[in-house]
Structure 1
């Protein structure tokens, strides 16, 4: 049996979640109005460029996952890729979030596409191996939930910090928190925190000892194993639907809150939202222990769909009602963040038992690719839909009732349809705690036998 992890290792490893959140949130919420409202790129083009940039992950994610599974160095399998990706990610953030410091007062679609692509490649190099490493830290069903919850705790702290920046900026710059100063402040925060956490974790947290596997699984054969892994296919479908719905809503959130409802303190409202998500994590963790991660996730989605649908019936000026609903949705956000990732860590055991290989990197790469594609298409399609029906985010432009109806419909109703579509897949998910324990027993017995055979071979030599 593997010894339990120390709390310090779990919480230190999770700290990389903090900068993960700090570039995901601004790309989803602040980047579209910055490029469409201040840099002269059309709203439809912004959505299309985000979608196209994410399509590169179809190639890069599986390759990086595969190579990190099959790379062995003195510092581990995952750490070299994370350290390689750091400078690429930082340069991408710098040029994407702050083109004005390089003298660009306006940019085109190609500029946006190029620097999105560079940032995404850097993030893939850092985060695909990082998530795979997290899945390998422990074989235990419930300890994996704690590892994932620790990481998502930091993610929510990072999101709260991201929300705090636009909330405090008006007091610092003595002016409104428009997208440009918000993204500038976020960029410098990311550039400081990301190297600090990644280097610290690579230095202080050990990767699990390498266990010789029965065989190395080639890439194409491994992808076939993924296709035959029923729980994995189910998780991917759930992630695709839920993430697509969240991305559809996130891309329109600032426009809906600011231009339709009339919310003035958007940054402070997001701070309340992420704080609610942070406070809710222990509750979702408890519910997952009581009834299983998948059923807790289904309940979370049902609540999110209900709250999102109610938002369709709000009218301009109902800021207090919207604030209460938005904070309630934040409670669901905590579960939406960590429960599917905890489920995915268990899915890797099914593959290990069947293929006799250790391929967490490949699995998290495919999951990451699915998440990114869902985010890309959710973001791209939503921005193109509201642009097609005439919504214009430029300052001074007055949008009419028809434009706001489509904005409200896209923000509130369409994400609810996504959540409802994923409910049945989640509630009937087959990989329970009992089944995972049986799989771990099979894997542990095989690893013990391989270790004994290796010891016999060494003594014979």
Structure 2
């Protein structure tokens, strides 16, 4: 049975709330720790890496248990409904750090509530990702679903990435006020998805295999394992950009008041203006990448997108530091367009690989696949701030608890390179891997190209 437009769009709605947290952990936490809580950059980078310990335990467990859940609402909905509340509470707690404490206490507080939010995220994201393998087995329909999902994801990114910094201003108290306003978006969009998809096709029978049997089934799917690794490499590049983007807006991008978008930058701030342009580029690209995936095949469309991403990053490197916002805004629009390929296409590829295992084994273990897929992404997201922190520390970056401070030229150059040339090299590695390793082992999945 074909899904209606409302069902496909409704499924995508949840990613608006999910990506509020994605932005918080990738864009805001590192800057919040180093600029307002006095945490050294090397320690701030380790904070997000340390939270990975929660995922090591919860990701496979939630994937396995959601596959085996029996309820009147299906296998996935109970986990998602509870997870939305836990996620929202964790996000608020991260920015409710008591005043007057040492930077060590501040770091521990953020880690604790970061962990709570991460558990809530796992409860939502793994069953949610599994739904893509249950609702339809038609590859092109999945691409359309992902286009809707990433459109809503982009709106979530805009809400948290542009509006939160604009609402927060330049104070730590402002960040708490801002997340209190966006936390309800997390719950309402995720619960809204459950309402919109309540009548979609689902696989009612729970998986019957033991934990280790299911793990072996997933790991036996060689094409999936290779794709997880390569998507993790891509995510490392994207997350490295995200982790330092707000620092770049503070230290490398100024507005001289004479450019075409100076009025907007004055109202929202440079970071929020550039991030908004990035999101606009991502939104307008989504259905273009659907068409290109159908025309070129998903693998070649993804390679095209990442190749263009490299080109844009090199152009940004040549343009920094910038004093006018208009040129950077156009480059960020292009970066968002190319980032749309990273956002959408791999997520449409991996459910196709679930079908192969289901057809061969008879086991409906979409939750297990989703857990492994997300864990690879989470590892990369956790490593990226650690890498950025080590790069900046080696270059002599100065942390602060009172906003922007003077940095050396070598520290600024390190930030510039870490956000442009280093991700470009990482993307090139992934492109080579997709061509040389992934394509040969995935030829039986025709939709990949």
Counterpart in the other structure of 2:87: 89
Q: Structure 2: how far apart are the matches of 1:378 and 1:146? A: 30
What are the within-5 Å matches in structure 2 for residues 418-437 of structure 1? 418-427=426-435, 429-430=438-439, 435-436=444-445
Could you say which residue in structure 2 is the equivalent of 1:451? none
Partner of 2:263: none
Instruction: Decide which of 307, 314, 334 is 1:302's aligned counterpart.
Output: 307
Alpha-carbon distance in 1 for matches of 2:323, 2:162: 23
The answer to whether the 8 A contact 1:83-1:199 is kept is yes
Of 234, 242, 255, 2:247 maps to: 255
Match of 1:293 in 2: 298
CA distance in 2, matches of 1:43, 1:313: 25
Which residue pairs with 1:134 in the alignment? Answer: 132
Contact 2:26 2:239 (C-alpha < 8 Å) held by counterparts: yes
1:253 is displaced (CA, Å) by: 1.2
Superposition pairs for residues 124-163 of structure 1, below 5 Å? 124-163=122-161
The residue aligned with 1:455 is none
1:338 aligns with one of 336, 341, 344: 344
1:72-111 equivalence runs, <5 A: 72-99=70-97, 107-111=105-109
The answer as to whether partners of 1:34 and 1:179 remain within 8 angstroms in 2 is no
Aligned-pair Cα RMSD in Å: 2.5
Contact 1:57 1:369 in 2 (8 A): yes
Per-residue CA deviation, residues 170-197 of structure 1 (Å, 9 max, x unaligned), is: xxxxxx8226366335422432122222
- Aligned twin of 2:8: 10
Residue matched to 1:457: none
CA distance in 1, matches of 2:323, 2:331: 11
TM-score (norm 2): 0.89
In structure 2, C-alpha distance between the alignment counterparts of 1:66 and 1:348, rounded to whole Å:
15
Bigger CA radius of gyration: 1
Pair 1:254–1:204, CA change in 2 (3 A):
closer
* 5+ long unaligned stretches in structure 2: 256-268
Q: 1:117 aligns with which of 115, 118, 124?
A: 115
Tell me if 1:372 matches 2:362.
no
Residues of 1 paired with 2:63 and 2:440: CA distance? 23
Q: Any conservation in 1 of the 2:274–2:328 contact (CA below 8 Å)? A: no
Is structure 2 residue 278 aligned with structure 1 residue 273? yes
Q: Which runs of 5+ in 1 are unaligned?
A: 170-175, 439-461
Which of 187, 194, 200 is the matching residue for 1:195? 187
1:55 aligns with 2:63: no
Q: Write the deviation string for residues 289-344 of structure 1: whole angstroms up to 9, x where unpaired.
A: 10111111111111111222333333433544333222211111211111110001
- Asked if residue 235 in structure 1 is aligned to residue 227 in structure 2, the reply is yes
- TM-score, reference length from structure 1: 0.86
Residue of structure 1 in register with 2:261 after alignment:
none
Residues matched between the structures, number: 429
The alpha-carbon deviation at position 388 of structure 1 amounts to 2.5
Corresponding residue for 1:447? none
